[in-house]
Amino acid sequence: MGRALVVLTALMMVAIGTPAAATRPVFVLHDGVSQPIYSYQQAIRETAWVETGTDHDRDGRIDRVAADVIRPAEPAKRGQRVPVIMDVSPYYACCGRGNEAQKKTYAPDGKPEQFPLFYDNYFVPRGYAVVLVDLGGTNRSSGCFDEVASGNAVVRWLNGRARGFGSAEGNDAVTARWANGSVGVVGKSQDGATAIGMAVSGIEGVKTVVPIAAVSNYYAQHISHGAPRSAPGNGGSSFTYNDRAKELCVPFEQENRDRAGTNGDYNAYWKQSNYAAKAGNVRASVFSVHGFQDANVPVDQFTIWWEALGRAGVTRKAWLNQAAHVEAFDLRRQLWVATLHRWFDRWLFDVRNGIEYEPRVHLEQSPDRWVDAWQWPAPGRPVTLWPAGDGKLASRPGSGTATVVDDPAIGREQWASEASTARALFTSDPMPVATRLSGTSSVTITASSDKSAARLGVALVDYGPATARNTAPYNSGIKNLGTRSCWGESRPGDSPCFIDTATDLVDVQHRIVALGWADLGHYASIERGAALTPGKSYTMTFPLTGMDTIVPAGHRLGLIVGGTDATHFDPELPRLDNTMTFDLARTSITVPWAATR
């Protein structure tokens, strides 16, 4: 009975066109999911250059972003409209997408040939269009790097609210009468950040977003509680630009750098790109994916977003893993494709499959040990631990001091494994029972510096033998196999077959489970830093990255306090060459203690 009702819903959704359109559904369900009923080989491939309404490159013409489209031909012939799966990216020409760094390719006549990743191969035969958009100034787009404007322009075009053209500079107008107005935006890293930015813009037509390893707060990505991660001019988007944009976008990029500032203050520029703070504007459902060991986009980008969505009452789902900066497709491929399929069916075809009522979080607690949970973080209680001068980490305030000499050549893995004057280490007694830590820790640091500035680096470490995903330093936690598996249909120039992957394991004596960084001069507020008075103590509290891990019985928890983390900060930043003295009686860490499952 339930399946019959879903099919009836599909029939009612058919766009009114020819008489045939009124008697045939756009999609067909079997076992509750849409089926591959359309020819991928005969799919329509085309490009629209869509006006964004801006002139960021200042050439006197409205910027146009290139939207490469692949859509099933059969519904179009019947006058039926289809939903869109969209990925907006700056990487289609410079760097590629996915584990195999796939790039867009084009036939001699300019029509798009290879659509990176599996979305086109798998979803087009099921009645979806796939639209891959070149972010402004990249690949075949004009303009400059303006992620939300680039993506939203194409959504407006799909909904008949923006102008599109059949060429980069011509006046040959094209429309998207084949689109039914429903858009799902998916993507990893920068692409995922764009999806989040589009969602918080509240644009009409975006029904769901699937950000993977994505930034939700650009201030927190580039600046850690007042401490800039990179030297001026070393970040940004210039490496993704096409040759035209590399020249024309210099003023645009410089203006953004000027607005961002170099002092680490959270100013108006950073507030506008704090998407998590705008979660109340989200109209779409959200399915987020992130790795706890992601060094490119630290997991705090997920935790602040997830918490903000919860406060805003947004329908949300998450996959959390112990890997680094990787696609969910390369973690649990069959389950990921099946889950994403049902998610898009639910929000783009309006199939009432109940996925939003299933456990909200799919969580990897240890390598290949996955559990489902109704909420995250797990219920528990905060536990505060204090370091002491004897090197202990205990449940009562300690005493004494610790001295650290800043050394920007040493990173957190060396802090954790080697004795050094660049850090101080404090360890607990062996854990009497296995203990789960789930959520976000925070540290309170009281310290003085012999110079007018000081960077703080903190790590929470699980000390004890373990087998973990190989994620340090900047490893992904996955490895490629010698086989391929296929996900969808094929045609010359665009294969659905991808290298299989497996968990990359390594035996370790410690695991860093949470991290944090800060500028001590921002002790009072991230909005305004101040020069330190040498020798004067300052107290600062800030959160660490989120975690979900089980610390086995017999292991010890370690708290590391240090200065500049070489793994996290650009080596071209000015050296501080300062010595810090930590007041241990007024230094502590509060960790999220949860029940062990």
Integer Cα distance of 491 and 496 in angstroms: 9
Integer Cα distance of 272 and 184 in angstroms: 23
**341: which 2 tokens?**
């399929």
Q: Which amino acid is at 18?
A: T
Please check whether residue 127 is in contact with residue 26, taking contact to mean a CB–CB distance below 8 angstroms: yes
134 DSSP β-pair partners? 89
Pick the CATH number of 380-594 from 3.40.630.30, 1.10.1490.10, 2.60.120.260, 1.10.760.10: 2.60.120.260
- Closest Cα partner for 385 from 592, 593, 588? 588
Model confidence over 479-508: pLDDT tens digits?
999 999 999 999 999 999 999 999 999 999
Residue ranges covered by each domain of the chain: 2-373, 380-594
Q: What is the pLDDT along the chain (597 residues), one digit of tens a residue?
A: 333 333 333 433 433 334 444 467 899 999 999 999 999 999 999 999 999 999 999 999 999 999 999 999 999 999 999 999 999 999 999 999 999 999 999 999 999 999 999 999 999 999 999 999 999 999 999 999 999 999 999 999 999 999 999 999 999 999 999 999 999 999 999 999 999 999 999 999 999 999 999 999 999 999 999 999 987 765 567 789 999 999 999 999 999 999 999 999 999 999 999 999 999 999 999 999 999 999 999 999 999 999 999 999 999 999 999 999 999 999 999 999 999 999 999 999 999 999 999 999 999 999 999 999 999 999 999 999 999 999 999 999 999 999 999 999 999 999 999 999 999 999 999 999 999 999 999 999 999 999 999 999 999 999 999 999 999 888 999 999 999 999 999 999 999 999 999 999 999 999 999 999 999 999 999 999 999 999 999 999 999 999 999 999 999 999 999 999 999 999 989 999 999 999 999 999 999 999 665
Q: Domain 2-373 belongs to what topology?
A: Rossmann fold (3.40.50)
Collapse the DSSP code of 378 into the 3-class scheme (helix H, G, I; strand E, B; otherwise coil) and give the result: coil
Q: Would you name the residues annotated as active-site residues? A: 189, 294, 325
**280: which 2 tokens?**
């109340």
Model confidence over 319-353: pLDDT tens digits?
999 999 999 999 999 999 999 999 999 999 999 99
